[in-house]
Amino acid sequence: MRCPFISSFIILRCANGTYKHCSIVQYSMHHIDVRVEKDIFDVNNRIARENASHFRAHGVRAIDLLGAIGSGKTALIEKIVPVLKERGIRSGAIAGDCYGDDDFQRIRVLGIPVVNANTGKECHLDAHLVEHAAEGLPLDEIDLLFIENVGNMVCPTDFLLGAEKRVVIVSTTEGDDVVNKHPMMFRGCDIGIINKVDLAPLVGASLDRMEADMRRYNPAMKICRTDLKKGEGLGAVIDALLAEQSS
């Protein structure tokens, strides 16, 4: 027997200061059977496909930005948005976090449309939450939408959101074995960024090992090395983001 649906709630905060309560469909934890995991992923993937179609219809290219807490996801947005603006490319963002609006506030000062999406106890965004978050954005005024996922290297892996590309960013301060410890994250991403390269000698991290592990798990992945504090390597990241997807 399939588990019955129950609803919980998340709170979305929009850039104009308004709040929105949204129900999130979940499965009850009672009477679980082996089909539950498949059912959850099937529902999520269906909504993700609908999100992707919705974004395309509005001319929006969405980027799912993944990585651990402190890896540099928000810093990447902060550095990229002004460069894109100079090129006439309009940005928007969804800031995903379990709680608080720290990243939302950092992105808001960039002057772009942004929605804060708190997941509560959940350690990842899902397609349904993104669907509702997108309702708070003027999609016709956005060319590139950054969906900053919750800081986690495991949970977001299996939950597609409807993005055109998935980007994972890791920092040398996480250790040069971080890629090898999270292979599924890298197998499912299009672009891999190794950040804080300037700190590698200080923490004894091998950049070559990190890059080799990325290539071992995903030979097709585009890999960039960055020092976002100084803006180094940013051009290669932007080129990778804006490159058309190969069929």
Digit-coded pLDDT (tens) for 35-79: 555 688 899 999 999 999 999 999 999 999 999 999 999 999 999
Q: Which tens digits make up the pLDDT trace of 203-226?
A: 999 999 999 999 999 999 999 999
Residue 72, both tokens = 């540099």
- Checking phi first, is residue 155 left (phi over 0); if not, alpha (psi -120 to 50) or beta? alpha
Indicate whether 2 pLDDT > 50.
no
pTM assigned to the model: 0.84
Residue 233 CB neighbour total at 10 angstroms: 18
* Confidence at residue 19, expressed as pLDDT on a 0 to 100 scale: 52
Name the pLDDT band for 14 (thresholds 50, 70, 90). Answer: low
Q: CA torsion sign, 7 to 64 to 53 to 105?
A: positive
* Confidence at residue 7, expressed as pLDDT on a 0 to 100 scale: 40
Mean pLDDT, range 172-179, rounded to an integer:
98
* Confidence at residue 8, expressed as pLDDT on a 0 to 100 scale: 45
* Confidence at residue 44, expressed as pLDDT on a 0 to 100 scale: 94
Q: Which tens digits make up the pLDDT trace of 141-162?
A: 999 999 999 999 999 999 999 9
Q: Which tens digits make up the pLDDT trace of 72-129?
A: 999 999 999 999 999 999 999 999 999 999 999 999 999 999 999 999 888 999 999 9
224 phi, psi to nearest 5 deg: -130, 145
* Confidence at residue 41, expressed as pLDDT on a 0 to 100 scale: 87
